[in-house]
Amino acid sequence: MDRLVYVDGTLYPKDEAKVSVFDHGFLYGDGVFEGIRAYAGRVFRLEEHLRRLYDSAKAIMLQIPLDMDAMRRVVVETCARNGIEDGYIRLVVSRGRGDLGLDPRKCATATVVCIADTIALYPAELYTTGMRVMTVPTRRSGVENLNPRIKSLNYLNNILAKIEANSAGYAEVLMLNDDGLVVECTGDNIFIVKGRRVLTPPPWVGILEGITRAAVMQVARQAGLDVAEEVLTRMDVWTADECFLTGTAAEAIPVVECDGRAIGTGRPGPVTADLIERFRRLCRSEGVPIRPDR
């Protein structure tokens, strides 16, 4: 079926869905977004995604023209009209149409776009065999420059690192902050396993606080593991027993090598496998129904 895209109150066929070339989201990356998943006819962690969207908008002083209840209805209706059962939703709020100058006051009303489709971020075999990563020279933006907790449309920092990944033949890469601490990957949070401990970098080092990250931390605690946010260096990743990444698009995927060093046995580990299975069960057991009558 031809996908329908929500733009400012109307669902358009995808080839007809347009925003102005004077929109500040297009001209300057001035806006915020969320990537959201649907599983088995339910939108997973929609409330958490919407809260982060509105927090990001508040941080950049962007007034969203819909309240949270209305935005929730937009997401659900867009999924329903597109027949989405298992899919990916991209919710975008840009500053809106203005002029060629930087001044956001020239943008009268924000633009709201919702796309419901499917996505496959990494090759399917990597979820079984595990992926290789390397550390890239590009550092993650500092929290006092453009705080990574703001999920903004300005993703050039991540894209530069992704270009380095592509050039080196890697599907994903590890990013550090200006202090040389492990932060995250271009689109995923990182975890390591050491014995019965599951560790991930804390927000203050410069990460996006992932919704999938929080869900995996939840199931890890339910599994009786010691889960903590701790400062990590590359040494910690190199010497970990296991490693995995999480993200809405990526879900949860094992990492078996970093910077040419095998992690653990060089194969996906048992803790990682168990957490991925627990996460998948969680995804399919909760969420906002797309068709409440079903």
In tens, the pLDDT along 179-226 reads: 999 999 999 999 999 999 999 999 999 999 999 999 999 999 999 999
For residues 108 and 141, membership in a common domain is answered with no
Structural domain range at position 133: 126-283
Please say which residue of 117, 143, 176 terminates a domain.
Answer: 117
**Residue 122 above 70 pLDDT?**
yes
Quick one: 193 and 260 in the same domain? yes
Can 151 be counted among the known catalytic residues? yes
The residue out of 68, 89, 117 marking a domain boundary is: 117
The predicted pLDDT at position 227 comes to 98
Q: What is the mean pLDDT of residues 242-251?
A: 96
Residue 237: pLDDT over 90: yes
Instruction: Name the nearest CA neighbour of 201 among 233, 243, 169.
Output: 233
Do 156 and 70 fall into the same domain?
Answer: no
Contact yes or no for 237/243 (Cβ under 8 A): yes
Residue 57 has pLDDT above 70, yes or no: yes
Domain boundary among the residues 90, 117, 144 is at 117
Domain count, the chain: 2
132 and 109 share one domain: no
Mean pLDDT of 80-86: 95
φ/ψ of residue 77, rounded to 5: -65, -40
Catalytic annotation, pick one of 14, 18, 58, 151? 151
pLDDT for res 291: 87
Question: What does the pLDDT read at residue 1?
Answer: 65
Averaged pLDDT for residues 146-154: 94
Q: Is the pLDDT of residue 136 over 80?
A: yes
Element (H, E) at 273: helix 270-283
pLDDT surpasses 70 at 249: yes
pLDDT at 293 over 70: no
pLDDT at 294 over 60: no
Report how far residue 289's alpha carbon sits from residue 85's, in angstroms, rounded to the nearest whole number.
Answer: 10
Quote the distance between the C-alpha of residue 48 and its chain's center.
Answer: 12
Calculate mean pLDDT across residues 157-178: 97
